[in-house]
Amino acid sequence: MDNKINFKDLWAKQTSIEPNPGDLLLQISKMKRSNLRKLIVTNLMLVTVSAFIILIWIYYQPQLVSTKVGILLIILSMTIFLFAYNRSYTLFKEDINSKSNTDYLKELLAIKSKQQFMHTTMLNVYFILLSAGIGLYMYEYTSRMTIFWGIVAYGITLIWILFNWFYLRPKQIKKQQLKLDDMITKFKKLNNQLEA
């Protein structure tokens, strides 16, 4: 009895599901709409929060410079993030029907590159400035508390920031990357089929 297995023959006999170009275009269209919606919602939320923070500044008139610097850092973090995030708008507004498969693949790779920049550099800048701003902003109000309650206030804030940084942010990044990587792989397969 011969126990030799010919892996090459087994590999050649395997059936694989070929990507359907129509389905891929539909997925790209859904992804673009979803990302455009996220872009609009993010803009509305951060502009609203910034306006609310400015109203707090005007209404409550903080006394310490640290509070004012904290407010400016919070608004600066949101402005920088929105500026970078809005630059990706051009990638999501183009007409989907006027491109070749190679163009789709290039566009997906550009989106991946832009997302990688947003997930690393811009989110780091955003979280650092936001955390510093919140810390400075809280100082004026926690200094009026007892030491125990001041530590509790800063502790809860730090736990929330760390939870966002180490749990929510990586989870969201991974989810977005998996979707995009899946689409890129399917378009690469489709391009390879068309070239063969």
pLDDT tens for each residue of 87-103: 877 666 665 555 666 77
pLDDT tens for each residue of 24-65: 778 777 888 888 898 899 999 999 999 999 998 999 899 999
Q: Indicate if the pLDDT at residue 133 is higher than 50.
A: yes
Concatenating the DSSP letter of every residue in 80-111 gives HHHHHHHTTHHHHHS-GGG--HHHHHHHHHHH
pLDDT at 195: 66
- pTM listed for this prediction: 0.78
Average pLDDT, whole number, for the chain?
Answer: 83
pLDDT band at 10 (very low <50, low <70, confident <90, very high): very low
Show Cβ contacts of residue 154 under 8 Å, excluding neighbours closer than 6 positions.
135, 138, 142
